[in-house]
């Protein structure tokens, strides 16, 4: 295994250790009949005890005290590869349905007050059947959906044999190779690869 993979492996171990008992504590169970919000918080954040205000703030990604189209798109996981089979039109329809439920002043965003008051009145985020809303980066998603289930700080390099492990570390290798290629290009005085063929004087 390349040095970069070993470094990624060690980094992941440090990340797990930094979480302390989080990696070893029993993951909360999604109760039968749970709404989408509860399922999302348990599966994606391992949080079972929360209120509407906490949910809103956690998913106000740009800290503007409102949910924009992009915030909703992100927390429903519509950028994630697990939803790439869903058409853009259906994704937009889902976001617009959420706005219709909560955006009472019709300004194209949902304020903290609009969300929390609506939730207090029994309005809930719909489950569109698009999954729990994967919105973390690759490292986060790998850690909470695979590493915590099958590995721990005692895991050795030889234990990383699941398809998810192989794919995760293959991705690290690809990123490192791309970075090395870019460094080579950056050191060149003229990047010949960027010159269209018709402007080149050489074959």
Q: What is the pLDDT of residue 91?
A: 95
The pairing of strands 66-67 and 110-111 is antiparallel
Q: How far apart, in whole angstroms, are the C-alpha atoms of residue 179 and residue 185?
A: 10
**Cβ contact 156:172 at 8 Å:** no
Q: How far apart, in whole angstroms, are the C-alpha atoms of residue 54 and residue 38?
A: 12
Q: What is the pLDDT of residue 160?
A: 65
Q: What is the pLDDT of residue 183?
A: 80
Residues of the chain with pLDDT under 50: 1-24
**Cβ contact 157:9 at 8 Å:** yes
Q: What is the pLDDT of residue 16?
A: 45
Q: How far apart, in whole angstroms, are the C-alpha atoms of residue 183 and residue 188?
A: 9
Q: Which of 126, 78, 86 is nearest to 102 (CA)?
A: 126
DSSP 3-state assignment of 67?
A: strand
- What tokens appear for 92 in the block? 């937009």
Q: 40-135 — its CATH code?
A: 1.10.238.10
Q: What is the pLDDT of residue 186?
A: 76
Beta bridge partners of 110: 67
Q: How far apart, in whole angstroms, are the C-alpha atoms of residue 188 and residue 57?
A: 46
Q: What is the pLDDT of residue 15?
A: 45
Q: What is the pLDDT of residue 139?
A: 65
- What tokens appear for 175 in the block? 């990123």
Q: How far apart, in whole angstroms, are the C-alpha atoms of residue 159 and residue 70?
A: 38
Q: What is the pLDDT of residue 26?
A: 63
Q: What is the pLDDT of residue 172?
A: 65
Q: What is the pLDDT of residue 2?
A: 47
pTM (whole model) above 0.75: no
Could you report the per-residue pLDDT of 69-81, keeping only the tens digit for each? 999 999 998 987 8
Q: How far apart, in whole angstroms, are the C-alpha atoms of residue 182 and residue 8?
A: 20
Q: How far apart, in whole angstroms, are the C-alpha atoms of residue 95 and residue 132?
A: 15
**Cβ contact 22:144 at 8 Å:** no
């Amino acid at each position: 295994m390349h040095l970069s993979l070993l470094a990624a492996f060690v980094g992941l171990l440090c990340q797990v250790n930094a979480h302390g008992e989080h990696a070893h504590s029993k993951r909360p169970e999604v109760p039968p009949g749970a709404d989408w919000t509860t399922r999302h918080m348990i599966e994606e954040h391992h949080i079972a005890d929360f209120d509407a205000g906490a949910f809103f703030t956690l998913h106000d990604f740009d800290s503007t005290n409102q949910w924009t189209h992009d915030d909703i798109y992100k927390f429903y996981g519509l950028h994630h590869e697990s939803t790439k089979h869903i058409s853009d039109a259906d994704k937009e329809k889902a976001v617009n349905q959420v706005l219709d439920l909560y955006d009472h002043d019709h300004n194209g965003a949902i304020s903290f007050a609009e969300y929390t008051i609506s939730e207090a009145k029994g309005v809930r985020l719909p489950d569109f059947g698009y999954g729990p809303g994967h919105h973390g980066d690759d490292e986060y998603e790998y850690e909470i959906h695979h590493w915590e289930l099958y590995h721990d700080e005692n895991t050795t390099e030889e234990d990383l044999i699941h398809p998810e492990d192989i794919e995760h570390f293959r991705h690290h290798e690809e990123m490192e190779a791309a970075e090395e290629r870019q460094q080579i290009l950056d050191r060149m005085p003229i990047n010949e690869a960027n010159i269209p063929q018709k402007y080149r004087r050489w074959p």
